């Protein structure tokens, strides 16, 4: 039988006051001084309920009142005679008031001269020098202010000293040390990226068995550079190397070297490598290394001196490794094209591993990894989902699973269904539907014909991707959307596919012109025209797909399409070539627009039927759209 707890049993172990040791030995003394000063300053106000009413009178009046026995006592203080009326305190409301009368005495008069020595009168007459008391009373606020100023000054000095100490630590590395025994990530936890993991396996083997390589005269791999789009798992691969090797993992971002103070950036690099050598074998992982590893340009006016010194320090540290230092640097970046060549040469970053977007098989494995800790219905087809997510990174796939879980919880369902996965997929790709955006009937009709124009030409152009969905439901900044889904992962793109893509992009504007007239074309095609222009310019200037212009790259190293001077370079193109490029781009776009016009005219009835049906349905999936061509 358990004893029933009383209402105060829980309070037995509760400690109202818990003494904590002060941070320094002066804290108790400072507190004591402050309390003493506060107490002393409050002495004059210990009886705040008694108010003294002072009235100045003539000396003759004071003598008359004394002879009448009106005073209980008289105090002679210097040249003042202060008489307290004998009738005591007067209560007015909650306040007690005591009245005194003060007279100014003439110089060098004695009490007998004043007539205050009458033995028949019981008034007590006292002579007292209050100069010293007034002195301390006047000085007390000054002393208190001085002590308060002293305490504030000491506090500010201590803070400044702390800032000075912190300034000495500005050069310290901000790298985070991950314990390999905790939260370990292995290669099996990284889905896909089999080729990348195979290349990194040699690094793992070296950290585990360095003697095997040294006996053969193999040098230590100084660094490995992971290059790839965002979200492809570069950081996870680096942590997996540390987990497989069972060595410490120092992680830092390139931007964390940046500081407002000079001489600090390079100091952090030195401290980082010093710490890594102390705990070797170890891995240093520098994420977004392009923040400090950009190309150095001639002339100090162009570059950033601190950034260059930081880069020089990294180059020096990586060159300074000896054969017995088991420290490997792994860098990650999305922009290897901007890195300095000295950083990429052998002896520093010996290996460059490209981490590509996952293919269909890898995407299926990634989905399965993200589904481990989620409740999924049995009929979820990850293979079909992987086939529809071409171009997604690992982070995007994880986001799809997370959004599906959120949507499932919002509908109070127990497991994630294929329907919720599809909703999450469409929300990420096309955006959240905006029910608050209401279009009038004319706008809905123009949007329907516009989107069907894209879809129809996508079906008629043989090199276009299949139509996945057509919708006139407003989403984010789009009033409607036509979604094309590639059937497989494309590695190369042909000229024919580019031309078909241009034709499909102009399908919306061509439909507006044919069905509503040239005067009724809208701004809805602005993004289509922008994308079409970019494709055409790439075909002419970058890919060399037209003999009239030639097999030459006119876009420049940084993809510049304007024909201006690049710093430190010659003009990108001559004036005559500029005119030829502009003329060719305009010709390509005009041809594909006229092609789109003709295809829509040839299928005008079918276009109108699909558009009117879309107005009623608002959304049309792949099967529903394909039924019109069966």
Catalytic residue positions, numbered: 451
- Mapped to the 3 state alphabet, what secondary structure does 270-291 carry? HHHHHHHHHCCCEEEEEECHHH
Q: Provide the edge-to-edge strand list for the sheet that holds 467-471.
A: 481-484, 467-471, 619-621
**Are 457 and 603 spatial neighbours (Cβ–Cβ below 8 Å)?**
no
What is residue 327's three-state secondary structure? strand
CA distances from 595 to 404, 528, 590, 592 (A): 41, 16, 9, 5
**Cα dihedral value 525, 530, 536, 538, nearest 10:** -150
Tell me 31's DSSP state. H
For residue 620, the tally of other CB atoms under 10 A from its CB is 23
Residue 91 is inside which H or E element, if any? strand 80-92
**Are 225 and 336 spatial neighbours (Cβ–Cβ below 8 Å)?**
yes
CA distances from 266 to 100, 270, 275 (A): 78, 6, 14
DSSP H helices, 102-233, are 111-114, 131-168, 194-208, 210-214
Long-range contacts of 311-314 (CB under 8 A, 24+ apart): 311/340, 311/342, 311/343, 312/266, 313/265, 313/266, 313/269, 313/270, 314/269, 314/343
**Are 379 and 421 spatial neighbours (Cβ–Cβ below 8 Å)?**
no
The pairing of strands 619-621 and 124-127 is: unpaired
For residue 190, the tally of other CB atoms under 10 A from its CB is 22
485 contacts: CB under 8 Å, gap ≥ 6 = 388, 390, 465, 466, 467, 468, 622
Partner residues linked to 353 by β-bridges: 226
DSSP 410-449: HTT-SSB-HHHHHHHHHHHHH--B-TT----HHHHHHHHH
Partner residues linked to 300 by β-bridges: none
Tell me the C-alpha distance between 38 and 458, whole Å: 85
**Are 421 and 464 spatial neighbours (Cβ–Cβ below 8 Å)?**
no
Tell me the C-alpha distance between 571 and 567, whole Å: 9
Residue 323 is inside which H or E element, if any? none
Tell me the C-alpha distance between 247 and 208, whole Å: 9
Cβ neighbourhood burial of 369 (10 Å; 0-12, 13-18, 19+): middle
Taken in order 475, 479, 484, 489, the sign of the CA dihedral is: negative
| Residue bearing tokens 């010293």 | 132
Closest CA to 586 of 597, 594, 576: 594
CA angle 411, 414, 420 (to 5 degrees): 55
245 phi, psi to nearest 5 deg: -80, -20
CA distances from 212 to 246, 248, 347, 372 (A): 18, 21, 20, 38
């Amino acid at each position: 039988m358990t004893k029933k707890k009383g209402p105060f049993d829980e309070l037995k172990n509760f400690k109202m006051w818990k003494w904590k040791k002060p941070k320094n030995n002066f804290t108790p003394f400072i507190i004591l001084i402050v309390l003493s000063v506060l107490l002393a300053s409050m002495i004059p106000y210990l009886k705040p309920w008694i108010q003294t009413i002072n009235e100045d009178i003539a000396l003759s009046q004071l003598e008359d009142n004394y002879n009448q026995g009106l005073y209980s006592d008289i105090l002679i203080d210097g040249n003042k005679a202060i008489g307290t009326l004998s009738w005591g305190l007067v209560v007015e409301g909650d306040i007690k008031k005591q009245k005194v009368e003060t007279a100014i005495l003439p110089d060098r008069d004695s009490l007998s001269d004043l007539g205050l020595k009458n033995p028949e009168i019981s008034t007590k007459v006292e002579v007292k020098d209050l100069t010293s008391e007034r002195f301390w009373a006047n000085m007390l606020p000054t002393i208190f202010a001085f002590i308060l100023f002293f305490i504030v000054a000491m506090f500010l000095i201590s803070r400044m000293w702390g800032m000075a100490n912190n300034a000495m630590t500005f050069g310290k590395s901000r790298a985070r040390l991950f314990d390999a025994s905790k939260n370990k990530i292995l290669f099996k936890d990284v889905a896909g990226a089999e080729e990348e993991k195979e290349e990194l396996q040699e690094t793992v083997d070296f950290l585990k068995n360095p003697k095997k390589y040294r006996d053969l005269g193999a040098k230590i791999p100084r660094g490995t550079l992971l290059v790839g789009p965002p979200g492809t798992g570069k950081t996870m691969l680096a942590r997996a190397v540390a987990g497989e090797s069972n060595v410490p993992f120092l992680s830092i971002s390139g931007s964390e070297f940046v500081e407002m103070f000079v001489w600090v950036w390079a100091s952090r690099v030195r401290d980082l490598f010093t710490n890594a050598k102390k705990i070797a074998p170890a891995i240093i992982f520098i994420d977004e290394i392009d923040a400090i590893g950009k190309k150095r340009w001639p002339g100090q006016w162009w570059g950033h001196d601190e950034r260059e010194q930081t880069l020089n320090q990294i180059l020096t540290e990586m060159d300074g490794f000896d054969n017995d230092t088991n420290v490997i640097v792994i860098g990650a970046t999305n922009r290897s094209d901007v890195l300095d060549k000295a950083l990429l040469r052998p002896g520093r970053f010996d290996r460059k591993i490209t981490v590509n977007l996952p293919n269909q098989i890898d995407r299926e494995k990634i989905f399965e990894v993200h589904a481990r800790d989620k409740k999924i219905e049995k009929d979820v087809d990850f293979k079909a989902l992987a086939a529809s997510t071409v171009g997604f990174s690992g982070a995007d796939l994880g986001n799809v699973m997370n959004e599906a879980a959120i949507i499932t919880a919002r509908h109070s369902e127990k497991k994630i269904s294929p329907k919720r996965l599809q909703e999450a997929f469409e929300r990420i790709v096309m955006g959240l539907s905006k029910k608050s955006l209401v279009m009038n009937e004319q706008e809905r009709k123009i949007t329907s014909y516009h989107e069907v124009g894209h879809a129809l030409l996508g079906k008629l152009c043989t090199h276009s991707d299949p139509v996945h969905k057509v919708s006139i439901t407003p989403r984010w900044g789009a009033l409607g959307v036509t979604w094309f889904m590639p059937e497989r992962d494309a590695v190369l793109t042909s000229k024919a596919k580019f031309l078909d893509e241009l034709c499909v992009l102009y399908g919306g504007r061509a439909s507006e012109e044919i069905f509503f007239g040239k005067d009724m074309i809208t701004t809805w095609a602005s993004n289509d025209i922008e994308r079409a222009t970019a494709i055409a310019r790439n075909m002419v200037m970058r890919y060399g797909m037209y003999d009239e212009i030639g097999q030459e790259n006119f876009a420049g190293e940084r993809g510049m399409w304007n024909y201006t001077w690049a710093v430190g370079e010659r003009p990108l193109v001559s004036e005559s070539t500029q005119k030829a490029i502009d003329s060719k781009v305009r010709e390509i776009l005009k041809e594909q627009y006229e092609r789109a016009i003709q295809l829509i005219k040839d299928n005008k009835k079918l276009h109108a039927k699909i558009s009117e049906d879309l107005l009623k349905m608002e959304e049309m999936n792949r099967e529903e759209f394909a039924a019109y061509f069966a």
